[in-house]
Chains A and B, each alone.
Chain A
Amino acid sequence: MHMHKYEKIWLWSGAVCLTVFLLIVGVSAYAMGNQPPSHMETIDPKEAAVTAPFDKPRMTKVGDQEYEAIMLAQAFTFTPSKMTVPKGSTVHFKVTSTDVVHGFQIPSTNVNMMVTPGYVSKISYTFEEPGKYLILCNEYCGVGHQVMAVTLEVMS
């Protein structure tokens, strides 16, 4: 099929741009480890609240400046509802839902993932700045969805 010369130039430049974009996404994902949360572990959603480790939702210190937050998402709150870590800590969040689909987002960080019942969702983040961080649900989960939030305090 014949194409106009200018159209060829246009499409080639478009294709080059798209390839560059994909390379950036790919390198960031595969070489620098910036993969989207894709944890494969499953759990029985009805039993989640009595299955270890989710039977005791908590924040624990697991290493030098490293913490693990085991959290449950339930309509319309997260447990534990108050957590504190010192500044500079890396927190590994491990979250599951006992009922419907929830979201897990901390504004002004890159923490953002879905919490699907039946699966365990994981994400890690290093909190360099002190402050009172909001952890909110960003997937509609029912009439109280807009109140579903807790805070994480990062101490200086």
Chain B
Amino acid sequence: MIDKRDAKLSLFFLSISFLALFIGAIAGLLQTLVRSGTIELPLSIGYYQLLTAHGVLLALIFTTFFIVGFLYAGISKTMGALYDVPRRTGWLGFVMMTFGTILATIFILLNKATVLYTFYAPLQASPWFYVALVHVVVGSWLCAFSMWNQYYIWKKKTNNKLSPLFSYMAVMTMALWFIATLGVAATILLQFIPWSIGWVDKIDILISRTLFWYFGHPLVYFWLLPAYMCWYVVIPKIIGGKIFSDALARLAFVLFLLFSIPVGFHHQLLEPGISHSWKFFQVVLTFMVIVPSLMTAFSMFAVFETAGRKKGARGLFGWVKVLPWKDVRFFAPMMGMLIFVPAGAGGIINASHQLNQVIHNTLWVTGHFHLTVASTVALTFFGIAYWLVPYLSGRTLTPQMNKLGIIQTIMWTIGMAFMSGAMHVVGLFGAPRRTAYTTYSDHPQALDWVPYQAAMAIGGTILFLAILLLIYIIGYLAFKAPIGEMDFPLGEVEEKATSTPIILENWKLWVGISAALIFIAYTLPFWHMIEHGPPGSPGYKFW
């Protein structure tokens, strides 16, 4: 068991995370029902208000709180109890982030911030909404500082020993997060807050969109990296294998830091004001970031196979059978991993210019990220929670809860197959995302979309039931399960693996290269936007 005080900090983060997941899922269910045309919301709630709550609470709050909680637990496990300053900073971060979350939720519920989680200007929310987001971001920075501080002190105390793999990855994840959130913090602090308060009356839209997407793409890697941490470090232990290579795992994380940030234009491929050569340049970089994902896939299947063969599996695929399919700690992340195969392929499609033209802003995109973040990442997080929550609360994962967890995973997979599958198909037909129920005055094409939207509602209902089951399991594991000692599964490195070169811990080098790439990819187009920008826009409240 890790230090009680650290366990408490981690549990607090996890609680807010699951609370956000629950509320967000209610919104999600209602959205699918509205879009299928089966229900109408009571007058006081709007579809877009729900969608804002769903996006903010799931994409931003559920993920970030879960990640910070998970990283704290793993850091305390691998580097030892948090030192005083890092722990206190962590709590301060928690308070700020929670305050921001509550404030943002209130303003969304008051219908003062129906701008969706991307808050594109010149739709203008109440200034308090932006202030709330700043609290979430700055609070998460405090957590980043606190984790880096822990790492720094640990390195000092151990005379620069090689850091534990988990902690290295945690430091890297927060480095990526920090560099990425500089963009969104800049647009909120320098553009949105002064403009929404009325200190300035205009906003430059393209600059705000560019700063947002400078953040928006690495955001998805910030979700993915902790899932990869589970795959690289936790899964090998659970299946009775060893980590394939410490060095390659670290190298993959370095590559994510380098290539996941200077690529935001692939979200802006269809907009005016950015030249196509810069778009193409960033698309090339986007494709580079696929390489570390390929490395991860290789490592994972190498671990599965070697572990399987050690257990006596024979034949080309004999090792598949001996994997612990009945252990939810393996099963849930494994389903996430398998879903990542089509999800990743979809990502390559989205980033390709001409194909982007077909799917941009259609339900295909919504289908895509319900496979990536809402399945690959979410299922891995659920798989982590099933052992982490009892581990932190001094309880045990009972066989019964294990079984419920497996059922939960299957329900999630089936529900998502319906919902995301239907979204992908109807998106290809052209059905737009972020759109309440409509038939466009009974246009025959739009009428053809309705059955798919009904399939989305079937999927959404199964998913919502799966969330209820999840909340029950987590609640049971936190408060009711039998007291006992759980294991924090941490893999060891294969003896034959090559040793880790010191250069991988040269932070100045990697952050330097990352900054250089950002500089190359963004300076000229950004300068052009400022130099040749049109007059700005006043705010609009069209809801």
Contacts and interface: CB of A to CB of B under 8 A. Distances in A.
A88 interface: no
B352 A21 contact: yes
Nearest to A46: B535
B68 to A, nearest CB: 29
Residue of A106, A117, A144 with most chain B CB atoms under a 10 A cut-off: A117
B270 A113 contact: yes
B532 A36 contact: no
A146 B269 contact: no
B537 A118 contact: yes
B523 interface: no
A14 to B, nearest CB: 4
A66 to B, nearest CB: 21
Given A36-B276, A40-B275, A138 B353 contact: no
A29 B284 CA distance: 13
A28 B272 contact: no
Interface residues of A, number: 68
A149 B432 CA distance: 11
A29 B280 contact: yes
A87 to B, nearest CB: 18
Contacts of B362: 105, 138
Interface string A37-57: 111111111100000000000
B291 A15 contact: yes
B272 A105 contact: no
A43 B498 CA distance: 59
Given A22-B284, A100-B542, A147 B438 contact: yes
Given A18-B290, A42-B533, A103 B274 contact: no
Contact of A145 (B121, B272, B348, B435): B435
Given A99-B540, A138-B435, A146-B436, A112 B270 contact: yes
Nearest to B433: A138
Contact of B540 (A100, A116, A120): A100
B476 interface: no
Nearest to A40: B273
Nearest to A121: B272
A78 to B, nearest CB: 12
A41 B272 CA distance: 8
A136 interface: yes
Contacts of B358: 110, 112
A114 interface: yes
Given A118-B534, A151-B443, A38 B274 contact: yes
Interface string A3-26: 110110011001100100110111
Contact of B535 (A40, A44, A134): A44
Given A45-B535, A100-B123, A22 B283 contact: yes
A3 to B, nearest CB: 7
B154 interface: no
A142 to B, nearest CB: 3
Contacts of A25: 280, 283, 352-354
A37 B534 contact: no
A61 interface: no
Contacts of B501: 1
B298 A132 contact: no
B248 A1 contact: yes
A108 interface: yes
B353 A108 contact: no
B120 A101 contact: yes
A41 B188 CA distance: 27
Interface in B429-446: 429-438, 440-441, 443-446
B294 A11 contact: yes
A75 interface: yes
A127 interface: no
Nearest to B528: A40
A142 B543 contact: yes
B205 interface: yes
A83 interface: no
Contacts of A132: 443-444
B46 interface: yes
Contacts of B510: none
B48 interface: yes
26 contacts: A1-B248, A7-B248, A11-B291, A14-B294, A15-B291, A18-B290, A18-B291, A26-B280, A29-B353, A38-B271, A38-B272, A39-B272, A45-B535, A101-B120, A101-B209, A103-B361, A105-B432, A117-B537, A118-B534, A118-B535, A139-B361, A142-B542, A144-B542, A146-B47, A146-B436, A149-B441
Given A1-B498, A14-B290, 10 more contacts: A1-B251, A24-B352, A36-B357, A40-B275, A42-B533, A99-B540, A103-B361, A118-B533, A134-B440, A138-B360
